[in-house]
């Protein structure tokens, strides 16, 4: 059954494993930032959501990262939604349009590894001098273990899809009737990460129009005046006023 054709109140907004045989049922923004860019949300990520312990997928637009247009270009990204203890990854382009994405956490002492340098032909840890190739392989100690590598798919000519374990999350939704007059509202529930902020967006059609941020309430009958929810590691439930009979909701990580 094509659930995309159903009214919003009839569907669970959830994320599925990323396969070509399954169509995206819901969308969510995953924001990334770098020291060189002021934009917090650089792309709309297709979320094929699943349990939080499973893989989440986000897509990078190479037009936002000029360095990755060049062979051996390399950037370090702060990926919203990854564990706050170490949320950075390094993406590097090598010859023949091959891309690698690895954690920037050094396997020796946990320091933040730098991006790839053509002068050293490696990514270097500033703390103790360990060096790694773009795919995370150790080329000089004291590190003994490679950097964690993530699966990357290059979509010619502009996009990368990177699989990040633990990034996926589920969103469930249902219509509820509140107050003495049984006013319909839409309830959204989703897990949160401590230190990450969330907003709710709505779009009447996936085929046209822009996503719009909408206010919400954290109680069934409260005024829908909040626009940001601060994650604390616990599941969140919010309520939005329904101004359209059908449409699509999204939860955005900021």
What is residue 146's DSSP assignment?
Answer: P
Q: Are residues 105 and 220 in the same domain?
A: no
pLDDT above 50 (res 51): no
- How many angstroms separate the first and last alpha carbons of the chain? 32
pLDDT of residue 83: 65
State how far the Cα of 27 lies from the Cα of 56, in Å rounded to an integer: 12
Confidence of residue 249 (pLDDT cuts 50, 70, 90): confident
Q: According to the model, what pLDDT value does residue 5 have?
A: 29
* Pairing mode of beta strands 55-61, 45-46: unpaired
pLDDT attached to residue 54:
57
Q: What is the mean pLDDT of residues 135-143?
A: 97
Q: Is 216 helix (H, G, I), strand (E, B) or coil?
A: strand
The total of other beta-carbon atoms located within 10 Å of residue 133's CB is 18
Residue 4 lies in a domain: no
| Same domain, yes or no: 35 and 153 | yes
Spatial contact of 152 and 161, defined as CB atoms under 8 Å apart: yes
Residue 11 falls inside a structural domain: no
Structure tokens at 244: 């359209």
Question: Taking residues 9-16, what's their average pLDDT?
Answer: 27
Greater confidence, 206 or 140? 140
- In percent, the amount of the chain with pLDDT more than 90 equals 39
- Residue 126 predicted with pLDDT over 80: yes
Q: From the DSSP assignment, how many helices (H) and strands (E) are in the chain? A: 0, 21
Residues 183 and 157 in one domain: no
**Average confidence (pLDDT) over 189-209:** 79
87: containing domain: 27-165
> Which two three-digit tokens encode residue 129?
């001098």
Give domain status of residue 67, yes or no. yes
Are 66 and 84 found together in one domain? yes
Higher pLDDT, 209 or 114: 114
Closest residue by Cα to residue 102 from 120, 65, 77, 128: 77
Is 15 inside any structural domain? no
Could you tell me if 149 and 31 lie in one domain? yes
Q: Which of 147, 165, 183 is a domain's end point?
A: 165
3-state secondary structure of 180: coil
| Structural tokens at position 197 | 């902020």
End of a domain among 165, 194, 229? 165
Q: How many domains does the chain have?
A: 2
Closest CA to 46 of 20, 75, 7, 74: 20
Q: Which two tokens stand for residue 193?
A: 């990460």
Question: Is there a contact between 189 and 235 (Cβ–Cβ < 8 Å)?
Answer: yes
């Amino acid at each position: 059954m094509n659930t995309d054709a159903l009214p919003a109140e009839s569907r669970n907004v959830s994320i599925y494993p990323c396969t070509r045989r399954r169509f995206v049922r819901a969308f969510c923004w995953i924001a990334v930032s770098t020291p060189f860019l002021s934009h917090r949300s650089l792309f709309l990520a297709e979320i094929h959501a699943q349990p939080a312990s499973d893989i989440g997928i986000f897509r990078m637009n190479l037009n936002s990262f000029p360095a990755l247009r060049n062979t051996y270009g390399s950037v370090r990204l702060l990926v919203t939604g990854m564990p706050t203890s170490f949320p950075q990854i390094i993406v590097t382009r090598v010859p023949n349009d091959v891309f690698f994405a690895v954690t920037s956490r050094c396997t020796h002492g946990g320091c933040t590894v730098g991006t790839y340098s053509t002068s050293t032909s490696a990514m270097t840890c500033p703390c103790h001098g360990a060096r790694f190739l773009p795919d995370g392989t150790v080329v000089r100690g004291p590190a003994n273990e490679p950097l964690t590598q993530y699966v990357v798919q290059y979509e010619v000519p502009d996009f990368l899809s990177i699989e990040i374990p633990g990034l996926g999350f589920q969103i469930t939704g249902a219509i509820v009737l509140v107050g003495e007059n049984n006013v319909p509202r839409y309830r959204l529930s989703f897990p949160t990460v401590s230190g990450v902020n969330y907003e709710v967006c709505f779009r009447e059609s996936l085929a046209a129009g822009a996503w719009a941020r909408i206010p919400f309430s954290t109680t069934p009958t409260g005024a829908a005046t909040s626009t940001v929810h601060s994650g604390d590691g616990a599941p969140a439930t919010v309520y939005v006023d329904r101004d359209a009979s059908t449409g699509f909701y999204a939860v955005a990580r900021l």
